[in-house]
Structure 1
Amino acid sequence: MQSSNPVLTGRNSFTYFNPNQQGGYATDAYGYQTANGYTPQPQQVTGRMTIDDVITKTAILMLTLVAAAGVSWILLPATMLYPVAIAGSLVAFVTVFIVSMRHKVSVPGVFAYAIIEGLMLGAWSKIFESLYPGLVLQAVIGTFIAAFVVLGAYQFLGARVRGRIAKIVTVSIIAYAVMSLINLMLIFAGVNLGWAAIGASAGPLSWISAGLGVVLAAASLLMDFDAIEQGVRTGAPDSESWRGAFGLLVTMVWLYTTLLRILSFFRN
């Protein structure tokens, strides 16, 4: 099954395709052609995607992101925090679509995203920490707890986002991203809708947007897990491990930034 997560699909999916076979038949996880009328024959297939590969590459990207965040946290002066945070958000937004829509995953593009996102997160985190001391650590802990809860629901409770629900979630994620981008443009124009407000004075619209963001991020994480598992099962090439790691990183960053906002609602 192909994931509905826009980060993990784009022009590609985790279905393994063997171009060396006549007619370019798709193959199953054991290297057998699945075309009608063909008698399956075993063949040597190497370089398959594995769960361990995805975990390792996700950890590498996370460390890259944290290192970049540390650079902006430590080295950026206070006057540069907002410019870097806003510019980094826009560049990272564009980078996500560029990387996810490529037919073949771009490893340099994935690392570029991790670095850009890290610089942006370091700036935003320092801003939040200066306003609400201790909030960043709470958000980091909350992000990993939420991720493990979602993983537990996927692994042990059979929670899945598929079919029509997956399509609804995908459209909602795109609409949410577009709305956030429009809100940012309006802020530049001097109009504040309250969509991304923070702190105890945040209005109902900000509460709704933050709550919706957490729900969509959790659903996206379920689709990430499902797509990675399907990729391993169908024998996707090992290069697709980077796509799986990239999808997890994007979702985790979204979950973290949303939790930052939600936690700020309870602080003066």
Structure 2
Amino acid sequence: MRSNNPAFSRNEAFTRGGYATFDVQTPSADQLEDQYSMPSPVRERAMTLEDVVTRTGIMFAVLLATAVPTFWGLVTGAIGLGTGFLLTFGGMIAGLVLGLVISFSKKVRPGLIVTYAAIEGLFVGGISAIYTLRFGDGLVGQAVLGTLVAFGAMLVAYQTGLIRATGRFRKILIIATMGYLALGLINLVSVFVFNQPSIWFDTGILGIGLSLLGVTLASLFLVLDFDFVEQGIRNQLPQRYAWSAAFGLVVTLIWLYLEILRLLAILRGSE
């Protein structure tokens, strides 16, 4: 089973074979003798759930450290709209690039992961302010609460076995997500090239349905993330991989938050 979250799917450490199965070769007699004559290396302790939770908390603390000032500055007018635009969409692009670098890197890079959280905070704070200015107060708090509720529900569903990360589950989820992303790309082209209204913010049944689909897909991806964190712990990965696990969870939670925020905005706009 491989997660579609790039933080896990590109990392063999989170597969069921585990860290201990990498490039296993039978040593020769001379190699064994050399190994026994060398001093025993200090082995990095295995990753635990507490390590993952701690590093996830660190990432969110850093994210909030940039998101809150950006949000507050835009809402109160302390940050101009031009500067706010650059911070928001500059953070989005930079976060996307840095996220891809982290996902495709063969090494765990805590510095880049923390930097990603800081940059992503600019985008999250900025886009949250834009929604607030457009649709009114209270939207962000409701989206945060909705994200926490969805996270808790998926965690309970996973732990109780109500939803299992089976091969069929993964295939259906990937196909649905690919279709969702393809539709988003087509919509983007129609808006900027053909000057058509965006169906992504349609206040009718179509817009609400698409938004509900996005929330559902993001929520279900949490199940895959939980599964691969569990496999990493079970395979006794080195402690540094807790950063990769935290990165994967944060990426999915940000996606979920943005989908819920958009759904709430559509529902408020249709009133």
| TM-aligned CA distance change 1:111 to 1:23, over 3 Å | farther
From 51, 54, 78, give the equivalent of 2:52: 54
Partner of 2:34: none
The 1:11/1:255 distance shift into structure 2, 3 A limit, reads same
TM-score under structure 2 normalisation? 0.80
Residues 224-247 of structure 1, C-alpha deviations (whole Å, 9 max, x = no match): 101000110011121111111001
Letter in 2 for 1:148: G
Structure with more helix by fraction: 2
**CA positional deviation for 1:266:** 2.2
- Are residues 1:161 and 2:162 paired? no
Q: Deviations over 1:110-165 (max 9, x none)?
A: 12221121000111111111222111111111111111111111112442222022
5+ long unaligned stretches in structure 2: 28-40, 74-78
| CA apart distance, 1:11 | 4.5
Residue correspondence of structure 1 range 1-268 to structure 2 within 5 A: 1-14=1-14, 15-17=18-20, 22-23=25-26, 46-75=44-73, 76-131=79-134, 132-177=136-181, 179-181=183-185, 183-184=187-188, 186-189=190-193, 191-197=195-201, 202-268=203-269
SS of the residue 2:267 aligns to: coil
Q: Considering only aligned residues, what root-mean-square deviation do their CA atoms show, in Å?
A: 2.6
Q: 1:112 to 1:249 in 2, by over 3 A?
A: same
Q: Secondary structure at the match of 1:17?
A: helix
Distance in 2 separating the partners of 1:135 and 1:220: 24
Q: Distance in 2 between matches of 1:9 and 1:238?
A: 19
Tell me how far 1:186 sits from its aligned partner: 4.8
How far does residue 222 in structure 1 lie from its aligned partner after superposition?
0.5
Q: Unpaired runs of 5+ in structure 1? A: 25-42
Distance 1:179 1:98, change over 3 A: farther
Partner of 1:31: none
Looking at CA atoms only, which structure, 1 or 2, has the larger radius of gyration?
Answer: 2
Percent identity of paired positions between Structure 1 and Structure 2:
34
| Farther-moved stretch of structure 1 (94-103 vs 201-210) | 201-210
Does the CA-based 8 Å contact 1:65-1:115 persist in structure 2? yes
Length, aligned pairs only = 247
